[in-house]
Amino acid sequence: MRRVLRVLAACAVPGALVFGCGSADTLEFARGNPTVTDASEDSPYPDAGPPAPDAAATEAADDVATGMKCPPGKDGKSNVCVQVLRGSDGPSITADAKAAYGLDGRGAVLIGLAAVKPSGRDVSLIAQTWLPTESSGAGKFAATELPKVVELSVPPGTYWAYAAFRDQEPYIRPTVAIGDYLPRLVELTQVTVVADMGATVDVRVHPVRAVDLEVKLTAPPSGSGSGPIGAWLMNDKKIVGEGRVPCADLSSGRTEVVRVFTTYTGTFDVGAALFDFTAPLEDVTGAMPTFPPGTITSDLAAGAGAVKIGEGDWLAPTRKRVDLEKTVPLGAPKPTDAFPTCASYAYAPPK
């Protein structure tokens, strides 16, 4: 029986994801709520979703080696050995980081294979497992213990390898969090296998960091001034981070803080938009949404505002103000605002 698991977020990302993928015009990381689909039964983690029934996990560090040879598949199936490595190191986990974000550097990693390249909105795994495995008796392992290797048995075909390390429980949750480690989806590797073949593929994961943007309307809204907010980090017109608020009321001078997640460090341009009349469509490619009439945006040109995330930052130390100052023309006749309040979006802000 196939079950759908909410594993990563907007993501993200882009992402995007927080957590998107692919070209210069798509999200590297999106903070959305990617859906992970699997096709198996038991799970070592409550509500975490089942691992592939024929997935065998190899956890010993001495099994990880450059040029590692994956054993061939049997009975017409193929073996893919997925090696998860840290693509970059995260900041130190200090007492302040533990107190602020609940980090301890220890958790679990989901590893799987997808027939369709993962995006910032959807990750559909046809085979997967978690480490530590239930049989290992270990509840968690440290991100610093990567690399880890798992062996997944799949039918012949072409697959994308994917992995996600979760620092904080529950490991299955609808949002990305500071301290997770996720792949940069433009780096994901594809592998093609035939019957009775073995192949090895690497996935590099990077620490998730964030910046808080304080979003405010400076242009008069054409509608109610309420709706979903999207916010982005951009590097040379490439989106490298994303954050979302399902609905916010920015009328009457109100502001909203949007946390934007990324797997990059450096100095980035920032952008944001309030979708006043029409909620943005979910784009499974992770691309920047098309702004419908009535949307109010910040200046999205390169160099329009900047924020820095340093190597030692889990969260950028400075909150950045972003003004929404440009309105996409409505045209005539003026449409009715179908979502005049956040309650219209079936969303109630947390108290």
Report in angstroms the alpha-carbon separations of 111 from 133, 142, 205, 216.
11, 15, 11, 40
Report the percentage of the chain scoring pLDDT > 90. Answer: 52
Report in angstroms the alpha-carbon separations of 24 from 246, 272, 328.
26, 19, 24
Query: What is the token pair recorded at 67?
Result: 């040029």
Q: Tell me what the mean pLDDT of segment 185-213 comes to.
A: 95
Q: Which of 105-109, 164-168, 334-338 has the lowest mean pLDDT?
A: 334-338
Q: Could you tell me if 168 and 42 lie in one domain?
A: yes
- Residue, of 78 and 186, whose pLDDT is higher: 78
pLDDT for res 154: 96
Locate all alpha helices (DSSP H) within 75-210, ordered by sequence. Answer: 95-101
Q: Could you tell me if 255 and 243 lie in one domain?
A: yes
Q: What 3-state DSSP class applies to 136?
A: helix
Q: Could you tell me if 48 and 189 lie in one domain?
A: yes
Total tally of structural domains belonging to the chain: 2
DSSP helix, strand, coil percent of the chain (3-state; round to 5): 5, 40, 50
Of the candidates 180, 207, 234, which is a domain's last residue?
Answer: 207
Domain encompassing residue 40 = 36-207
Q: Tell me what the mean pLDDT of segment 243-257 comes to.
A: 91
Averaged pLDDT of the chain: 78
pLDDT for res 138: 63
Q: Could you tell me if 194 and 213 lie in one domain?
A: no
3-state SS, 320-332, equals EEEEECEECCCCC
Q: How far apart are CA 53 and CA 26, in angstroms?
A: 34
| Distance separating the N- and C-terminal Cα atoms of the chain | 38
The answer to whether 311 touches 193, Cβ cutoff 8 Å, is no
Q: Which of 111-120, 125-134, 182-191, 274-283 has the lowest mean pLDDT?
A: 274-283
The answer to whether 50 touches 110, Cβ cutoff 8 Å, is no
Q: Count CA within 13 A, CB hemisphere, residue 103.
A: 25
Residue 10 pLDDT class (50, 70, 90 cuts): very low
pLDDT in tens, 222-238: 889 999 999 999 888 78
pLDDT for res 132: 87
3-state SS, 279-305, equals CCCCCCCCECCCCCCCCEECCCCCCCC
Q: Tell me what the mean pLDDT of segment 162-167 comes to.
A: 94
Q: Could you tell me if 200 and 315 lie in one domain?
A: no
Of the candidates 156, 180, 207, which is a domain's last residue?
Answer: 207
pLDDT for res 47: 33
How many residues comprise the chain? 351
Q: Tell me what the mean pLDDT of segment 318-337 comes to.
A: 87
β-strand pairing of 122-131 with 35-38: parallel
pLDDT for res 282: 59
